[in-house]
Amino acid sequence: MTHFEQTEFSPNPPTSAAFSEHPPEAPSNTYSLEVVSVRHYTDRLFSFRVKRPPAFRFRSGEFVMIGLPSIAKPVYRAYSIASPSWDDEIEFFSIKVPGGPLTEHLQKIQSGDHIWMRQKSTGTLVLDCLLPGNRLFMLSTGTGIAPFGSLVRDPESYEKFDQIVLTHTCRESAELRYGHDLMERTKQDPLVGDAASQSLVYLGSTTQEDSPTKGRITQLIDDGTLFSKLELDAFDPEYDRIMLCGSLDMISDLKTMLEERGFDEGSNNRPSTYVVERAFVG
């Protein structure tokens, strides 16, 4: 089990935002979960892990609603679970929105604090929503990498696909750090490490800062960089399955590109060749 250290990036003096010693009782259908570790990546991004309730079940790739007991008028927001369904902790990867009703408080949590999490998980970035295939592409921007942190550490992903391709696009190189760590942790993982070392490949790109791969994912697909850098054949709807998670713009541009290439959107009721989830609303 990986326990994160606090931190390379230090936010302003952290102030604990969630009651640690005597957390208020959680509302019905809601768990109160103890924070185990927090790691700040940049002034916009952090991750944290909480204890997993033994009765909580979810499918890798799903999201839940989380809130904080310390906010006078509780606000719940959707969060993708970034850890696999077998893990005994639950990991989240979060944005810090200046003045954001949840994240202006959430970014101050510390080990020993509590968060609230609704008991029901849901979502379409799950293996069940895709038809069988050979390669699984997971294309993400920003915190949209979170559900793929769950799926790349799930053995079922490697049982169902011969190759898994994870891409992550952010504005700056420092924002790619979570994905780099995820790749390292996954390849060293006792459960999926061997399979991941053979089958999982990753491409990070930046849109604003210079880096080894610069450009939006749409551009990297269009000009063939994604495929040439990773030595892959171009998309083929017969063999490839694709998951998208990012901003509304990223998703709508990619949907158009994929449908032009013969891909069709799937759902829990009707599995198909690609699936989508927005990483945030707005």
Ligand X SMILES: Cc1cc2nc3c(=O)[nH]c(=O)nc-3n(C[C@H](O)[C@H](O)[C@H](O)COP(=O)(O)OP(=O)(O)OC[C@H]3O[C@@H](n4cnc5c(N)ncnc54)[C@H](O)[C@@H]3O)c2cc1C
Binding site for ligand X (CB under 6 A): 63, 75, 77-80, 92-95, 97, 100-103, 142-143, 146, 277-282
Q: How far is the CB of 64 from ligand X (least distance, A)?
A: 9
Provide the minimum distance between the beta carbon of 234 and ligand X in the complex, in angstroms, as a whole number. 29
| Residue 10 to residue 255: CA distance in whole angstroms | 38
Q: How far apart are CB 96 and ligand X at their closest, in Å?
A: 8
Q: Which is nearer to ligand X, 146 or 221 (CB)?
A: 146
DSSP conformation letters of the chain: ---PPS-SS--SS----S--SSPPPPPTTEEEEEEEEEEE-SSSEEEEEEEPPTT----TT-EEEEE-TTSSS---EEEE--S-TT-SEEEEEEE--TT-TTHHHHTT--TT-EEEEES--B-S-SGGGB---SEEEEEEEGGGGHHHHHHTT-HHHHHH-SEEEEEEEESSGGGGHHHHHHHHHHHH-TTTHHHHHHHEEEEEEESSS--SSBS-HHHHHHTSHHHHHHT-PPP-TTTEEEEEEE-HHHHHHHHHHHHHTT--B--SSS-BSEEEEESS--
Comparison of 126 and 235: residue with beta carbon closer to ligand X: 126
Residue 23 vs 67, nearer CB to ligand X = 67
Minimum CB distance to ligand X, residue 4 (Å): 16
CB of 25 to ligand X, least distance (A): 23
**Given the structure tokens 């936010």, which residue do they identify?**
11
Query: Nearer Cβ to ligand X, position 225 or 247?
Result: 247
Q: Which residue in the shown chain puts its C-beta closest to ligand X?
A: 100
State the minimum distance, in angstroms, from the CB of residue 108 to ligand X. 12
Q: Give least dist CB 1 to ligand X, A.
A: 21
The three-state secondary structure class of 279 is coil
**Residue nearer to ligand X on the CB measure, 133 or 243:** 243
Q: Give the burial string for 238-253 (b: 16+ CB within 10 Å, else e).
A: eebbbbbbbbeebbeb
Q: Measured from the CB atom, is 121 or 186 closer to ligand X?
A: 121
Comparison of 80 and 167: residue with beta carbon closer to ligand X = 80
